[in-house]
Structure 1
Amino acid sequence: MGTSLMTAQPIRSVRKSVFGVEIEAHPVVFPVSAFVVIAFVIATAAAPRRALIFFDYLQSKIAESFSWLYLASMTGFLLFAIYLCFSRFGNIRLGSDDERPEFSTVTWFAMLFSAGMGIGMLFFGVAEPMLHFVDPPNIRNGVVASAESLAAARGAMGITLFHWCLHPWALYSLVGVSLAYFSFRRGLPLSFRSVFYPILGKRIHGLLGDSIDILAVVATLFGLATSLGLGAKQINAGLSFVFGLPQSTTVQIILITCITTLAVGSLLSGLHVGVRRLSELNMLLAGSLLLFLFVAGPTVYLLGAVVDNAGAYAERLPHASFWTASYARSSKSQWLASWTVFYWGWWIAWSPFVGMFIARVSRGRTIREFITGVLLVPTAVAILWLTGFGNTAMHQEIYKALNADAPAATAFYDYSPQSYAVQQLDPQSGLPQSEDGEWLIGATAIGVASPQGVKMRQQASRLVTKSGNAVEYYRGVLVHAGTEIPYHPSVEERFDGRYKSEDTLLSLAGYLTEPVLTSSHRGRVDTTATAMFVMLGSYPFATITALAGIVCVILFFVTSSDSASLVADIIASGGSHNPTIGTRLFWGILEGVLASVLLLAGGLKALQTGSIAIGLPFCVLIIVMCVSLMKALRQETNTETPTA
């Protein structure tokens, strides 16, 4: 390693023993980060419906004003990552010149992928392609494919891969390479403040550096909360599908508590045991599930779809990378906010965790090796995974009419529609009806897993509760008419009975788009979270594969949680590579509490908003980080010629 261009100061941290547990923490970053997150948790738990109104407002405003920034930044990160890979800087090693990687390539990939986007790909792997298939977005040359057509199927896979392939991994590679370079090669603490040394100099050790690390810790926790929330919803959906367990926020919070406990156990075993072994086991199990679909499903169709989907992605990539819906209808702008902007915000909020984690396990690799591996291998796996799950689901939808006359070779496919209880909606108000048809039932909050039901009637153009109070919906929350004050129903106004419904044959697409009721007829099924299990139900060994899917989500949940706890603790301890157990426990527990409160306050809406909001300031920070990295690399190569 050549002459260092930076001077590392001792890590300014406090190390104490509290009740026999050793704790190491930065005196500013740790308490301020903890205070910010705990204050958010208390405020949201105290007024969940007001919080949901605020979440909806914040998400719409950010999407309206800053979607262009998310789109331009993420595309810029991809172009910059490709440039670094092929530039003269690619030979620089992330460590001393004679260092070699700490982990094997297979283990390295399993760890970064399990701790990266595993939960999300399981949650959206079936639902996202199907939803784009049913409602094609207008993002290619202004032409909209007909819903549920072959063109719509190809387009659905193209846009799904756009969200999950090169763009997010380019972001992760840049954050990871920056952290690894400044820490392992330049001797600075393994913390976000370090990557700004070429711009801020020794000021990274003061208030500016503390602020950067605080934002990184908070972003890590909110990004993780989104993944944990989605994971809890899908585990709940799987257990409901297999065992009839109710789908509700209460059950999901219990699941988060139980699995966070498992994650803490893995965390205590350390990086080389817990995270490593669980990551390898998870990749083996997930790979087996994917292989099952390719073997038991329409094999030839899926093999062809892998190639076709890669082409659809390459074809769509240039246009979608710059599509901001400026010339599209408002509905397509809403689509962009709900999908692409949400994903980009989620990935940016997730980047401190994934970037820090893959930096921690990537010491000794060159910049070219690092970026190539992080960009291409997960992208290839994403294409295989999303093809296996997405195209299998769409194949069921496209060819469901062939079931009765299927040739013997494919006779075991059960593509026939299934019977489900579908909620009856009042045509004027769009609200569900009670079983006796006497009442309309309005939820206290739309989109929450288990909201309170309120008895009401439609009178003229307004909704009136049983007690005669006029109400309306404002940003998805039931409020007093003409105000923004959430409506709290009295005991006699609350509805806890069965909904009016009709039994209907639904294909997978219908299942995702219709208001399907639980077996008790007392609540709706979370169809997005259940879609994967419904799809697996059309193949042999449905219960076994569903259980395998549940175990996969649990393992992804555990590896994500303990990895993010490690990352938050590394930053909050001032950059220690091996922080103490006590603070790891603290962050692990706090992550579970944050995910639970977000689910309680507003379900998926709150999870999405948390990611999009925290991703905004961090997006600007990452842009500056790229400038800082470039400055440092130029300084090094101008000082000496690095050797591989």
Structure 2
Amino acid sequence: MKDSNQEEQRPKTTFSAPVVLPALLGLGALLAFCALYPEQAGRIFPSVQAWVVRQFDWFYTVAVSIFLVFLLLLAVSRFGQIRLGPEDAVPDFTFLSWTAMLFAAGMGIGLMYFGVAEPLQHFLKPPTALGGTPAAAKEALQVTFFHWGFHAWSVYGTMGLVLAYFGFRYNLPLTMRSGLYPILRGRINGPIGHGVDAFALVGTIAGIATTLGYGALQLAAGLHLLTGWNTSTAAFRLGIIVVVVGLAGVSAVSGLDKGVRRLSELNLSLALLLLGFVVITGPTVFLLQALAENVGGYLSSLVDLSLRTFAYEPPREQGWFAGWTILYWAWWISWSPFVGMFIARISRGRTIREFIIGVLLVPTAFNLLWMTAFGNGAIWMDSHVANGALAQTASNVDALLFRFFEYLPATRAASWLAVVLIAIFFVTSADSGAFVVDAIGSRGHPRSPVWQRLFWAMVLGLTAMVLLLSGGLKALQALTLVAALPVTLILLMLCYGLWRGLLADQAHSTQDLAPATSFWSGQHWRRRLEQIVHDSTREDVFRFMQATVLPAMHQVSDELRRRGVLADVQHDLDEGATVRLTIPDPELRDFIYGVRIAHRHLPVFTVQDASEDGRAQVFEPTTFFEDGRQGYDIQYLRMEEVIADILRQYERYRSLSANLRTHLLSRAPGHSEPMS
């Protein structure tokens, strides 16, 4: 009965028209241009991409390094203990399920596609070493680690952390506009916010669809090698996309907790199985030795790699840098709205420190293992077994993984396992992509109808099919990478917004109750309420000090003198507006309980308010002490409560004077230490 009631409460649609309509129109225009004018698209978009890479390679390099440093600083700072959600929130998923979904949505299909290809291509044409040498092999794995390691996941982690923090801590929509809330405030609900989300929606669909197209090509190549079928026809490749999108739709209907989670856990299990197979049947000892040296070389050169721009190198190295590192940074950044939003969606309940450590360390560690096993394994096989045959087919990336398996035992079993794994990664990307795109299009609505996820899965499939048919995959990929430039600027703004949000969060959580509340029993509550809602003027505080504070100090002073303790009350209610009770001590610092009039400006809400000279002020009677401790507002206390506060501070003073550990501060300057 509960389930049926929930279904009845689910709205018919949660589409945000100001986001969805411009995004669909923009996407349709891009697809039409790629389909109707493929030659022009294939010429214009890559040339724009090349210009952006040439002019802004330094910017990408610095920005990605900033993201990594920013996350590390947050992890070790006091902000690391802040929870992504209410303080009593618990994670929605176990650590294993969480990391499995991180892996599957972030880079799973990319590892299958480039796990052999990238290290082997770097081995043949490294950035600085001589190709085909041991030095080239070492450098090949070092730069591969760099491209798939901490920096890549810092991009995803930054976007994911911003979205998760403002989504679960500030209860804002789980979309990119929410990260700009500290900067734009209410304007995130206007045209600027709609534009940011529409831009993210187009970029996400284009990036996922491009990946689906390349995944279809790799699946087709693998099936051709295994079965001999003619998989190069457009009909066969389109059929692959139709099947994958259909399976993704079934998973989307099952929900995030069932569909995506179970597929991700299956992905991770099969990936570990395939990884173990390669390590055990390949050159095991060499791979273990290489892993240790690869990790050591990567970590020891991390700073140099992070900021290297090849400014002093010849054009060949600069071309390598632009064609590999910068394109990777642009690709990770262009994918960050998709992966970051998915990571945010599954990370509710974790602390910022847990989030950063998990996102940076766990996927990076797996990537390093994977690239060593497949990359070093392929290089070793090419040099010791294949006699250069793998190197000759290195440019055929679609089939290279399956060519590698030909030099291992149980070739067909390993190849079929790889096909199944690619297919599941394929489905997971489409499934999680549908969830994310639906979240953007509905402004993070938590109860979108199922048909919307199916609609977006269909949009992803149709986009990929149009690109395959028109040959526009490379053109749209180039446009996606160009879009990474404004996304980088937005990411830097999100970092600033997150920092401001965390400062506000920390100030909010550490704001104590007023000291006056420790004495209040609830009596005279109407008078207390009037004081709270009324901003005190200087005259109000002046009257309070005359009528309440000064008589309280005189009563305490008179009682102390009757008991033989010297005490003195001093006041200056004309200019300085100060009163103080002093109890002198020849051996210790004097006890002083003082009250002065302090003032602060009322909060400003506009730039105009901040620039005006006559900003409104609120005045408060604030305590001060001889030892320099920070004072507090006592304006709500009645006379007997002021007396109680004076005695509380005097009792603290007497306790400290009896504590030998505090004598360095408690004793008056010029007096010798007591004999032990």
TM range (shorter): 0.7 to 0.9
Q: CA deviation at 1:324?
A: 2.2
Q: Give 2:56's aligned amino acid.
A: F
Q: Is the 8 A contact 1:101 1:364 kept in 2?
A: yes
Q: CA deviation at 1:611?
A: 2.8
Q: Which deviates more from structure 2 when the two are superposed, residues 630-639 or residues 597-606?
A: 597-606
Equivalences for 1:390-409 in 2 at 5 Å?
A: 390-399=375-384
Q: In the alignment, is residue 511 of structure 1 matched against residue 495 of structure 2?
A: no
2:184 to 192, 200, 214: 200
Distance 1:538 1:158 in 2: 24
Structure 1 residues 161 and 247: CA distance shift in structure 2, 3 A: farther
Q: CA deviation at 1:601?
A: 4.3
1:590 to 459, 467, 481: 459
Partner of 1:124: 114
Distance 2:465 2:184 in 1: 37
Partner of 2:82: 92
Q: Is the 8 A contact 2:34 2:475 kept in 1?
A: no
Distance 1:37 1:21 in 2: 26
Q: In the alignment, is residue 166 of structure 1 matched against residue 150 of structure 2?
A: yes
Q: Is the 8 A contact 1:264 1:562 kept in 2?
A: yes
Q: CA deviation at 1:99?
A: 0.9
Q: Is the 8 A contact 1:158 1:313 kept in 2?
A: yes
Partner of 1:339: 324
Distance 2:147 2:430 in 1: 23
Distance 1:69 1:597 in 2: 33
Distance 2:322 2:511 in 1: 44
Q: CA deviation at 1:398?
A: 2.4
Q: Is the 8 A contact 1:22 1:582 kept in 2?
A: no
Distance 2:119 2:386 in 1: 20
**Alpha-carbon displacement from aligned partner over 1:248-276 (angstroms, at most 9, x marks no partner):** 36143332222112111211111111101
2:126 to 103, 111, 136: 136
1:605 to 455, 474, 481: 474
Distance 2:328 2:271 in 1: 22
Distance 2:11 2:83 in 1: 37
Q: In the alignment, is residue 268 of structure 1 matched against residue 258 of structure 2?
A: no
Distance 2:479 2:462 in 1: 14
Q: Give 1:591's aligned amino acid.
A: L
Partner of 2:399: 530
Distance 2:239 2:57 in 1: 35
Distance 1:613 1:552 in 2: 30
Distance 2:237 2:296 in 1: 39
2:502 to 625, 629, 633: 633
Q: CA deviation at 1:364?
A: 0.4
**Alpha-carbon displacement from aligned partner over 1:370-398 (angstroms, at most 9, x marks no partner):** 00000000010001111111011011122
Equivalences for 1:380-395 in 2 at 5 Å?
A: 380-395=365-380
1:307 to 286, 292, 300: 292
Higher relative contact order, structure no. (Cα contacts within 8 Å, ≥ 6 residues apart) = 1
Structure 1 residues 21 and 210: CA distance shift in structure 2, 3 A: closer
**Alpha-carbon displacement from aligned partner over 1:56-75 (angstroms, at most 9, x marks no partner):** 21221111112222111111
Q: CA deviation at 1:584?
A: 1.3
Structure 1 residues 543 and 269: CA distance shift in structure 2, 3 A: same
Q: In the alignment, is residue 294 of structure 1 matched against residue 279 of structure 2?
A: yes
User: Which structure dedicates a bigger proportion of its chain to helix?
Assistant: 2
SS of residue matched to 1:25: coil
**Alpha-carbon displacement from aligned partner over 1:161-215 (angstroms, at most 9, x marks no partner):** 1010101111111111111111111111112111111100100111111011111
Q: In the alignment, is residue 563 of structure 1 matched against residue 432 of structure 2?
A: yes
Q: Is the 8 A contact 2:42 2:472 kept in 1?
A: no
Structure 1 residues 224 and 249: CA distance shift in structure 2, 3 A: farther
Partner of 1:324: 309
**Alpha-carbon displacement from aligned partner over 1:484-504 (angstroms, at most 9, x marks no partner):** xxxxxxxxxxxxxxxxxxxxx
Q: Is the 8 A contact 1:159 1:316 kept in 2?
A: no
Structure 1 residues 126 and 642: CA distance shift in structure 2, 3 A: farther
1:616 to 472, 485, 491: 485
Partner of 1:36: 26
Partner of 1:9: none
Q: Give 2:277's aligned amino acid.
A: F
Q: Give 1:326's aligned amino acid.
A: A
Partner of 1:280: 265
Partner of 2:215: 231
SS of residue matched to 1:233: helix
SS of residue matched to 1:99: coil
SS of residue matched to 1:115: helix
Q: Is the 8 A contact 1:51 1:601 kept in 2?
A: no
TM-score (norm 1): 0.76
Structure 1 residues 530 and 21: CA distance shift in structure 2, 3 A: farther
Q: CA deviation at 1:21?
A: 10
Q: CA deviation at 1:606?
A: 2.6
Q: CA deviation at 1:241?
A: 1.4
**Alpha-carbon displacement from aligned partner over 1:37-60 (angstroms, at most 9, x marks no partner):** 122112211111111111221221
Distance 1:262 1:224 in 2: 16
Q: Is the 8 A contact 1:225 1:607 kept in 2?
A: no
Partner of 2:587: none
Q: Which deviates more from structure 2 when the two are superposed, residues 354-363 or residues 315-324?
A: 315-324
Quote the RMSD (CA, aligned, Å): 2.0
Q: In the alignment, is residue 149 of structure 1 matched against residue 31 of structure 2?
A: no
Q: CA deviation at 1:78?
A: 0.6
Distance 1:260 1:21 in 2: 24
Q: Is the 8 A contact 1:119 1:553 kept in 2?
A: yes
Structure 1 residues 245 and 332: CA distance shift in structure 2, 3 A: farther
Partner of 1:244: 228
Distance 2:318 2:511 in 1: 47
Distance 2:320 2:208 in 1: 23
Distance 2:233 2:495 in 1: 40
Q: CA deviation at 1:542?
A: 0.5
In structure 2, list runs of 5 or more residues that go unmatched. Answer: 1-6, 513-676
Distance 2:433 2:447 in 1: 14
Q: CA deviation at 1:98?
A: 0.8
**Alpha-carbon displacement from aligned partner over 1:73-107 (angstroms, at most 9, x marks no partner):** 11110110111111110000000001110100000
Q: CA deviation at 1:528?
A: 1.0
Q: Is the 8 A contact 1:349 1:618 kept in 2?
A: yes
Partner of 1:550: 419
Q: Is the 8 A contact 1:342 1:608 kept in 2?
A: no
Q: Is the 8 A contact 1:226 1:611 kept in 2?
A: no
Q: Is the 8 A contact 1:215 1:618 kept in 2?
A: no
1:361 to 346, 354, 378: 346
Partner of 1:213: 197
**Alpha-carbon displacement from aligned partner over 1:512-537 (angstroms, at most 9, x marks no partner):** 25xxxxxxxxxxxxx11111111111
Q: Is the 8 A contact 2:38 2:472 kept in 1?
A: no
Q: Is the 8 A contact 2:102 2:343 kept in 1?
A: yes
Partner of 2:336: 351
The number of residue pairs the alignment matches comes to 504
2:70 to 63, 75, 80: 80
Q: CA deviation at 1:237?
A: 1.4
Distance 1:396 1:578 in 2: 51
Structure 1 residues 54 and 642: CA distance shift in structure 2, 3 A: farther
Equivalences for 1:15-54 in 2 at 5 Å?
A: 22-54=12-44
**Alpha-carbon displacement from aligned partner over 1:431-450 (angstroms, at most 9, x marks no partner):** xxxxxxxxxxxxxxxxxxxx
**Alpha-carbon displacement from aligned partner over 1:220-259 (angstroms, at most 9, x marks no partner):** 1122123212211211111121112345361433322221
Larger radius of gyration: 2
Distance 1:89 1:111 in 2: 25
